[in-house]
Structure 1
Amino acid sequence: MEKTLTIDNKEVRFKSTAATPLRFKAQFQKDYLAEIMKLDSLGKLDTKNIKPKDLEKIDFEVFYNIAWTLAKTADPSIKDPITWLDGFETFPLMEILPELSEMISVTLQGKKK
Structure 2
Amino acid sequence: MEKVVIIDGKEVSLKVNASCLRRYKMQFRRDFIADIFRLKKLDQYIVNGELKADDETIAQIDFELFSDLLWLFAKTADKTIPSPLEWEEQFVSIPLSDTLPVVLELLTVMLDSSQKK
User: For this structure pair, what is the TM-score category when the shorter chain's length is used for normalisation?
Assistant: 0.7 to 0.9
Aligned length: 110
Give the distance between the partners of 1:17 and 1:48, measured in 2 at CA.
Answer: 29
The one-letter code sitting in structure 2 at the alignment partner of 1:8 is: D
Query: Deviation of residue 42 (structure 1)?
Result: 3.4
> Residue 84 of structure 1 aligns with which residue?
87
Equivalent position to 1:63, from 53, 66, 74 = 66
Give the distance between the partners of 1:103 and 1:90, measured in 2 at CA.
Answer: 21
- The answer (yes or no) to whether the contact 2:40–2:104 under 8 Å persists in 1 is no
> Residue 33 of structure 1 aligns with which residue?
33
Give the distance between the partners of 2:98 and 2:79, measured in 1 at CA.
Answer: 24
The Cα RMSD (Å) is 2.2
- In the alignment, structure 1 segments of 5+ residues that lack a partner are none
Equivalent position to 1:49, from 54, 59, 62 = 54
The one-letter code sitting in structure 1 at the alignment partner of 2:54 is: N
> Residue 10 of structure 2 aligns with which residue?
10
- The answer (yes or no) to whether the contact 1:12–1:71 under 8 Å persists in 2 is yes
- The answer (yes or no) to whether the contact 1:20–1:107 under 8 Å persists in 2 is no
Runs of 4 or more above 3 Å deviation: 40-49
- The answer (yes or no) to whether the contact 2:14–2:76 under 8 Å persists in 1 is yes
Query: Deviation of residue 43 (structure 1)?
Result: 4.1
Query: Deviation of residue 41 (structure 1)?
Result: 4.8
Identity %: 38
Does the alignment pair 1:108 with 2:108?
no
Query: Deviation of residue 109 (structure 1)?
Result: 1.9
- In the alignment, structure 2 segments of 5+ residues that lack a partner are 46-50
